[in-house]
Structure 1
Amino acid sequence: MDMSEQNKFDSIIFDLDGTLWDSTGNVAVAWQNAINQVDYVDEVMTQEKVRSITGMAYNVIFDTLFPYLDAAKRNELMAICAKSELEILHTRGGELYPALDETLGYLAGRYRLFIVSNCQNGYIEVFLKLSGMAHYFSGHQCYGTKGNPKAENIKDIVNDYQLKTPVYIGDTMGDYNSATKAGVPFIFANYGFGVVENGQIATISSFGDLVKML
């Protein structure tokens, strides 16, 4: 990113998984606990499987992982997984990326900060509580609130908070596509779970890179 871009933005909207923290190990444990409660799924949930679908809308995740289930069973399993996930994460949380606290502190002094994720209701709140970083953020939106895709949720944040020049930071092609559809420039976090080869205005290799960049 050109140095002239540094003062261009008034706000930053973050993806959560793969950008601010990695909870995939504990999510895999939670989903396995859920699978063990039903008699129509016989497979092992791994961290690799969870990482492969991270960033998808919550309902699309279960469509992708369990295409052989009918809608009723898939929805039942999704509800059990969601409950188990929040229970496990409330106690175990996820792995915060290095320099998260100090970098967010720096950015919060210069920009309004937000989170938009494709997660279920309650998930962002768990992150904010366990990380102790809720005070850095002005608001958040997720798939679970209205069932809307990420692009619409980004637009909601932009409109609700009257943002003029936001930038979105995420780690997957889905994040890039959502930001683009919302008309928001995109910074790619390449330490996360996905690959974005072009179209981003900048790429970071660690969260702390944002201090020099922004």
Structure 2
Amino acid sequence: MMKDIIFDVDGTLWDSTGVVAEAWNKAIGEVGNTAAVVSAAVLKKEFGKTMKAIADSLFHDADEKTKEQLMEKCCVYEHEALAENTANLLYPDVVETIKTLAQTHRIFIVSNCQSGYIELFMKKAGIEEYVSDWECFGDTGRPKGENIRLLMERNKISDAAYVGDTQGDYEATKIAQIPFIFARYGFGNVEHGGQVINGIKELLSMA
């Protein structure tokens, strides 16, 4: 169906919201100046947005300087917590499916996450050797649609699909002008007329 496959991370390849929520609440407790309390359910509604958009949503009662301090500390504690975590946060069949797809397709990742998050995810999942390239908001300051195009241009990608789980992911593919595959098992609810998977393994029959 396509030569290359570009993946989202959160809600598509794994669910880290439980671990991340604890880390963010630790950061909020230290920085203060906001009444926000974060939970896994709250983060599932926020993940997929840019880091700035998440800060504006969660910490709307804080000034801009405090928002920056909060997000900076949240990201530090999040990275530490995920690095130390030993529980399996991956959705079923992720590693096996990516390994199989990588035999015939190039695999890429684009996320609205902070710098270092994709690298940490790949290391935890043990899939570094199967991913050709990746891009994120933290490295470029650009929204997902632009980062998809940037990655495609860098890798001379002409035939690809993006696998994601939110309305924002779908809208990003419209900007990037590539097909969208909706991971229905993830965090979001997307209304579109494209292809849908109920588990990542279903990609094998589509590729």
TM-score, normalised to structure 1's length? 0.93
1:36 aligns with 2:14: no
String of CA shifts for 1:11-46, please: whole Å, max 9, x gaps. 000000001111000010110110110231234321
2:14 to 21, 28, 31: 21
Q: Would you identify which runs of 4 or more consecutive aligned residues in structure 1 move more than 2 Å?
A: 41-44
Q: What RMSD in Å do the two structures reach over aligned CA positions?
A: 1.1
The code of the aligned residue for 1:80 comes to K
Counterpart Cα distance in 2 of 1:70 and 1:169: 35
String of CA shifts for 1:141-191, please: whole Å, max 9, x gaps. 000001100011000111000011011010001000001111111000000
Please tell me whether the aligned partners of residues 31 and 69 of structure 2 are also in contact (alpha carbons under 8 angstroms).
no
Report how far residue 82 of structure 1 moved: 1.0
**Equivalent residue, structure 1, for 2:77:** 84
**Equivalent residue, structure 1, for 2:107:** 113
**Equivalent residue, structure 1, for 2:62:** 69
**Equivalent residue, structure 2, for 1:166:** 160
The code of the aligned residue for 2:95 comes to D
2:141 to 139, 147, 157: 147
The code of the aligned residue for 1:121 comes to S
TM-score, normalised to structure 2's length? 0.96
Counterpart Cα distance in 1 of 2:39 and 2:75: 16
Please tell me whether the aligned partners of residues 6 and 162 of structure 2 are also in contact (alpha carbons under 8 angstroms).
yes
String of CA shifts for 1:193-214, please: whole Å, max 9, x gaps. 00112132x1000011111121
**Equivalent residue, structure 2, for 1:3:** none
Counterpart Cα distance in 2 of 1:68 and 1:39: 11
Report how far residue 65 of structure 1 moved: 0.7
Q: Identity percentage over the alignment?
A: 43
2:127 to 124, 133, 152: 133
String of CA shifts for 1:38-97, please: whole Å, max 9, x gaps. 231234321111111010001110101111111111111111111111111111176101
Please tell me whether the aligned partners of residues 36 and 59 of structure 2 are also in contact (alpha carbons under 8 angstroms).
no
Please tell me whether the aligned partners of residues 35 and 61 of structure 2 are also in contact (alpha carbons under 8 angstroms).
no
